[in-house]
Amino acid sequence: MVRDRNQRVVGIVTLEDIIEELIGEIDDEYDRSPATIQKVAPGLWHFGGGTLWTDAARVLRIQDYDVLPADHDLDGRYDL
């Protein structure tokens, strides 16, 4: 636990915090990918890994959502 000069608890340091300070950021199942949508060029879009299929379909004007796998999450970066 992290305490201030008055001995009040102001935070907690986890083992993951310590390891990340030593070797860098660790991506795990609890980290969220960004849900960014960015138009790169005409006809080219960048979708962050946290983007929902429904949001991607809306931007791409796909009306039939059945063409997209409903049980699949974007787990990285897609350029379409």
Task: Provide the 10 A C-beta neighbour count for residue 60.
Answer: 13
pLDDT for 66? 61
- Percent of the chain at pLDDT > 70 equals 74
Question: Alpha-carbon distance 80 to 77, whole Å?
Answer: 10
> Tokens standing for 36?
């960014």
Number of domains in the chain: 1
Looking at residue 50, its pLDDT comes to 79
Domain that holds residue 11: 2-79
* Angstrom distance (rounded) from CA 75 to CA 29: 10
Q: Could you give the CA distance from residue 35 to residue 62 in angstroms, rounded to a whole number?
A: 18
Q: For 51-78, write each residue's pLDDT tens digit.
A: 887 888 888 887 766 655 555 555 555 5
- Give the residue ranges of DSSP H helices in the chain: 15-23, 53-59
Mean pLDDT calculated for residue range 38-59: 84
